[in-house]
Amino acid sequence: MARYHVVHETRYDYGAPVSLSQQQLHLSPRNLPWQRCESHHIDIDPLPTWRRFGRDAFDNPVMWVSFESPHETLSVHSEMIVDVGSHLPRVSPEESRPWEVIRDRLAYGGLAPEGDDLEAARFLFESPFVRVKHEFAAYAAECFPAGRPLLEAAVALMHKIHGEFQFDPEATTVSTPVLEVLEKKRGVCQDFAHLMIACLRSLGLSARYASGYLLTHPPPGRPRLVGADASHAWVSVYCPGLGDGWVDLDPTNDLLPDTEHITVAIGRDFSDTSPLRGIILGGGSHEPDVAVTVSPLEDASAPAPGDAP
């Protein structure tokens, strides 16, 4: 069990007045069997003219705000305390069921779906950032020989992506298609998550996108820098029978997330979970400054450092 204090700050300097702005926020962390949000608040400047809270179709907390008078900057300060428990799968990857068994179970046979399969089917198909194409199935094929246990194969795919792709923030943007990521073999956490999801779905498996934060470790002897972190993204694959049916994998850091990943939202891909998505009228340039600080509250001496995002 670990306890974190997270600050996520976003600031837009539009350079020219924005007369009307509507924003959708995925900044409140959701509760999960292994995660509990103790407290959370969001400060927004300027004060929104209107706001509404709700849950999206994937049960993530969501908040909508609008600003109806001219403003040149927008600051959103999100601060939370979250408890994260261990959620590594209880069995070793070799003991999971063969991947084709799960694939066939998820395929429609005219019958009522078993267990959580219907819920998993939401993450089985194409979504705005994830294509389902034979190129992805072909890329993943060597990790998925006949009869291989699903989790073992998924971990092998994660190793393969981590080994063959280079972390490069300059190579891609939010809108780079995942097929292009596959060709370039470069990208950031978001790209690797989308790529891995595309591979799994192209094989007929359910995979979802998790967005949140990651504890990073300052170099030995140095203090933790405020705002040095960033939001992070990873993958969950559907393995019915294991825990709550989903196992997290982080292809950016080549590990199974445990207590150092803080989940904010879950969706089919980035489009379902974007922390701050908006439509503005007016304004000049609009590249935001984002700063995230994740601080452990009780010293949990976890090893594995990682790249983020």
Partner 1 sequence: MARTLLAIYPRNTQRFDEMLTATGAVRPHWRQFFVHLDSAAPEAMRERVEFVDRRIQENGVTYNVYADPNGADRPWALDPLPFIIAADEWREIAAAVAQRAEVLNAMLADLYGEQRLLAEGLLPPALVYGQHGYLWPCRGVKPPEDRWLHFYAVDLARSPDGRWWVIADRTQAPSGAGYALENRLIISRVFPELFRDLRVEHLADFFRTLQDSLAGIAPVAPGEQPHVVLLTPGPYNETYFEHAYMARYLGFPLVEGQDLTVRGDTVYLKTLRGLKRVHVILRRQDDSFCDPLELRGDSALGVPGLLNAVRARQVVVTNALGSGLLGSGALMGFVPAICERLLGERLAMPAVATWWCGEKPALDYVREHLDELVIKPAYPSQHFDPTFGRDLKGEAREEMFRRIEARPHAYVAQELVHLSQAPTWSRAHERRLLARAVGLRVYAVATPGGYKVMPGGLARVASAANAMVISMQRGGSSKDTWVLSDGHVSDFTLLKSSLGVTDLVRSGANLSSRVVENLFWVGRYSERFDSTARLLRVVIARLVEAGGELTPALAAVQELAEEMDIVPTREEDEAAEDHSEHRLLESIYDADQDGSLACSIRALMWSATHVRERLSLDHWHSLNKLQRDLQAARKRHPSLPEAIAFLDRVLLVSSSLTGFAVDNMTRDDGWRFLLVGRRIERLEYLASAMGHFLRLPSARAPGTLEWLLELMDSIITFRSRYSRPPELLPVLDLLVFDGSNPHGVAFQVENLLRYLERMDHDLGDIRDPRLNAAGEALRSTDLADFAGIPFLECRECSPCEELAQRLDEVVAAVRALSDRLAMRFFTHVGDVSRQTLAL
Write out the residues near partner 1 by the rule CB under 8 A. 10, 12, 20, 22, 24, 49-50, 52, 54, 56-58, 64, 66, 68, 107-113, 118, 121-122, 124-126, 132, 134, 174, 190, 230-231, 268, 272, 274-283, 286, 288, 290, 309
CB of 55 to partner 1, least distance (A): 8
Cis peptide bond upstream of 309, omega within 30: yes
Residue closer to partner 1 by CB (options 9, 152) is 9
Taking the C-alpha atoms of residue 61 and residue 48, their distance in angstroms, rounded to an integer, is 18
CB of 109 to partner 1, least distance (A): 8
Question: Per DSSP, what are the bridge partners of residue 36?
Answer: 83
Residue closer to partner 1 by CB (options 124, 143) is 124
CB of 122 to partner 1, least distance (A): 5
Q: How do the residues of the chain divide into helix, strand and coil, expressed in percent and rounded to 5?
A: 20, 40, 40
Residue closer to partner 1 by CB (options 155, 199) is 199
Cis peptide bond upstream of 220, omega within 30: no
Residue closer to partner 1 by CB (options 155, 178) is 178
- H helices within the chain, ranges in order? 99-106, 117-121, 134-140, 150-164, 178-184, 189-202, 270-273
CB of 53 to partner 1, least distance (A): 11
Residue closer to partner 1 by CB (options 205, 230) is 230
Residues in the chain, total: 309
Taking the C-alpha atoms of residue 56 and residue 59, their distance in angstroms, rounded to an integer, is 5
CB of 163 to partner 1, least distance (A): 25
